[in-house]
């Protein structure tokens, strides 16, 4: 993640501008990711599949998020992670510094942050998986771009194959979990023993049936030990289920490899301008229509097993096109000079990507969980999207103001200090020409 103290002026792509383009892309990706994650913060897992009886406004917003955001911005961010690794390796070689050992410590620190994030705050953490996939990419980052593309596409194909098999089994077995109409609140669950009793009663399927009522009671009212236990169990099941059966882990690794290959091949250089433009045009013109058609099919048959399975597979594939299109569009926006104040604000968010990613969790869980306002499962999806943009606007303001005084975001500072096993310079006036390896 970039650690420049200020955001250079936006204009034609140059050396500084390419870094700005990366930060703008990261900032845009963070907004898109939050539009998906907000439902996971605010609602029980059993409500992730929007059934036919749901209010029309909820169905519309869920469909829009599915078409525009889901998988796309995570995929975009994954490519940027791979690009960042290549950029850092290049800078280390240019400075004659060792890279692999330092980057492994960086990944280990990220994994520790991810485990803490997942168990103490929110089960939807991506940082731990990024750390694992990053270690695999580190072993391959010196490969030629063409070889990285082959490995990346193969990993994506494995993920698509696993998802296809799982969806076939799901379709033959009756399809997605049906979301029941709202019912009365569940009785309080105040001990870990009571939690396991409820899990056993629901066959340990936290995303099915009326376990959502139990989940709501726990996250809305606590206590902490029960909430942490449920969150940890959910995180572990998500790692296994999404990481393997849904092909998510292979998707992340594949996109890491493709991002690394694109960076090596000059995607953000002057000669990549035409490449960026066609990536935007082809990605969006192919991916968005396919996603829209799949969303219409789901709207027409929201509880049909075959439709659900087929559209999940098409979603996996079409969202890749959209993600590439978004990456090209973000780069074109950064270099265009259009809406420069907005672009600078988004770039500031991208420079503090880890701080802002975790900040979204802190704000959302404060609003929805027992330790804050306790409004879990209280808001409809349109309200949640409005909240996303309000929080993101606050993050733009915070990031711009913070970077006027400091060269790193607060969590980035902790991350780098842990990586180097010593405090690194934080305030802008403390920066000297001997500053060590900058983040990408």
pTM: 0.90
Does 384 reside within a domain? Answer: yes
Helix, strand, coil in percent for the chain, rounding step 5: 75, 0, 25
Does 219 reside within a domain? Answer: no
Model pLDDT for residues 9-50, shown as the tens digit of each residue: 333 333 343 478 999 999 999 999 999 999 999 999 888 888
| Comparison of pLDDT for 69 and 244, the residue scoring more | 69
In this predicted structure, the answer to whether residue 88 has a pLDDT above a threshold of 60 is yes
Given a contact cutoff of 8 angstroms between Cβ atoms, the answer to whether 61 and 45 are in contact is no
C-alpha distances in angstroms, 429 versus 291, 397, 400, 404, 426?
Answer: 48, 21, 17, 11, 9
Does 189 reside within a domain? Answer: no
- Which helix (H) or strand (E) segment holds residue 288: the answer is helix 273-300
Average pLDDT over residues 313-317: 96
Does 2 reside within a domain? Answer: no
In this predicted structure, the answer to whether residue 180 has a pLDDT above a threshold of 80 is no
Average pLDDT over residues 261-289: 94
Residues 6 or more apart from 73 whose CB is under 8 A from it? 28, 29, 30, 31, 32, 33, 35, 36, 323, 326
Average pLDDT over residues 270-286: 94
Average pLDDT over residues 223-241: 94
Residue 298 has what pLDDT? Answer: 92
Residue 129 has what pLDDT? Answer: 96
Model pLDDT for residues 327-336, shown as the tens digit of each residue: 999 999 998 8
Average pLDDT over residues 204-226: 87
Residue 143 has what pLDDT? Answer: 96
Label residues 413-431 b or e (16+ Cβ within 10 Å = b).
bbbbbbbeeeebbbeeeeb
Residue 434 has what pLDDT? Answer: 35
Structural domain total, the chain: 1
Q: Name the range with the highest mean pLDDT among 66-70, 95-99, 163-167, 185-189.
A: 66-70
Q: Name the range with the highest mean pLDDT among 46-50, 115-119, 185-189, 246-250.
A: 115-119
Tokens of 276: 């960026």
- 51 exposure class (CB count in 10 Å sphere: 0-12, 13-18, 19+): middle
Q: Kindly report the number of other CB atoms within 10 A of residue 91's CB atom.
A: 15
Does 209 reside within a domain? Answer: no
Distance CA 202, CA 209 (A): 8
Residue 210 has what pLDDT? Answer: 80
Q: CA 135, 138, 142 angle in degrees (round to 5)? A: 165
The whole-chain average pLDDT of the chain stands at: 89
Distance CA 198, CA 73 (A): 35
Tokens of 391: 């929080």
Residue for token pair 């996971």: 40
Given a contact cutoff of 8 angstroms between Cβ atoms, the answer to whether 337 and 11 are in contact is yes
Residue 172 has what pLDDT? Answer: 85
Which residues form the domain of 72? 15-180+228-430
Given a contact cutoff of 8 angstroms between Cβ atoms, the answer to whether 255 and 31 are in contact is no
Does 303 reside within a domain? Answer: yes
DSSP 406: B
Residue 2 has what pLDDT? Answer: 40
Residue 113 has what pLDDT? Answer: 98
Does 373 reside within a domain? Answer: yes
| Comparison of pLDDT for 235 and 435, the residue scoring more | 235
Distance CA 148, CA 85 (A): 13
Residue 34 has what pLDDT? Answer: 98
| Comparison of pLDDT for 91 and 181, the residue scoring more | 91
Distance CA 196, CA 256 (A): 37
Residue for token pair 């911005």: 73
Q: Kindly report the number of other CB atoms within 10 A of residue 26's CB atom.
A: 28
Distance CA 314, CA 278 (A): 22
Does 200 reside within a domain? Answer: no
């Amino acid at each position: 993640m970039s650690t420049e103290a200020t955001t250079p002026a936006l204009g034609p792509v140059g050396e500084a501008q390419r870094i700005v383009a990366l930060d703008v892309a990261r900032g845009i990706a963070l907004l898109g990711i939050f539009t998906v994650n907000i439902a996971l913060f605010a609602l029980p897992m059993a409500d992730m599949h929007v059934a036919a009886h749901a209010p029309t406004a909820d169905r519309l917003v869920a469909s829009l998020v599915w078409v525009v955001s889901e998988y796309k911005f995570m995929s975009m961010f994954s490519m940027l992670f791979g690009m960042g690794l290549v950029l850092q390796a290049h800078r280390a070689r240019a400075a004659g510094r060792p890279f692999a050992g330092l980057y492994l410590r960086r990944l280990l620190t990220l994994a520790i942050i991810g485990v803490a994030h997942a168990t103490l705050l929110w089960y939807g953490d991506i940082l731990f998986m990024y750390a694992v996939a990053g270690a695999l990419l580190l072993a391959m980052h010196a490969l030629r771009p063409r070889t990285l593309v082959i490995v990346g596409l193969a990993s994506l194909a494995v993920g698509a194959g696993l998802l296809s098999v799982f969806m076939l089994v799901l379709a033959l077995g009756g399809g997605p979990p049906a979301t029941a109409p709202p019912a009365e609140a569940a009785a309080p669950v105040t001990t870990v023993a009571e939690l396991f009793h409820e899990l056993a009663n629901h066959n340990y399927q936290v995303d099915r049936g009326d376990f959502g009522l139990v989940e709501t009671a726990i996250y809305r009212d606590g206590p902490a030990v029960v909430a942490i236990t449920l969150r940890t169990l959910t995180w572990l099941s998500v790692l296994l289920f999404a990481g393997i059966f849904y092909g998510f882990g292979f998707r992340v690794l594949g996109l890491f490899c493709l991002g690394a290959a694109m960076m090596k091949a000059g995607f953000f250089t002057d000669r990549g301008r035409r490449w960026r433009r066609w990536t935007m045009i082809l990605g969006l013109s192919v991916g968005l229509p396919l996603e829209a058609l799949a969303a219409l099919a789901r709207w027409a048959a929201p509880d049909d097993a075959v439709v659900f399975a087929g559209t999940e597979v098409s979603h996996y594939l079409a969202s890749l096109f959209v993600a590439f299109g978004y990456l090209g569009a973000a780069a074109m926006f950064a270099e265009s000079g259009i809406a420069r104040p907005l672009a600078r604000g988004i770039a500031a968010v991208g420079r503090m990507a880890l701080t802002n990613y975790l900040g979204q969790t802190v704000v959302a869980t404060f609003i929805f969980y027992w330790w804050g306002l306790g409004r879990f499962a209280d808001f409809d999806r349109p309200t949640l999207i409005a909240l996303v943009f309000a929080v993101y606007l606050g993050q733009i303001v915070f990031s711009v103001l913070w970077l006027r005084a400091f060269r790193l975001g607060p969590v980035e500072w902790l991350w780098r200090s842990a990586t180097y096993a010593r405090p690194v310079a934080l305030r802008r006036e403390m920066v000297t020409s001997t500053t060590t390896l900058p983040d990408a």
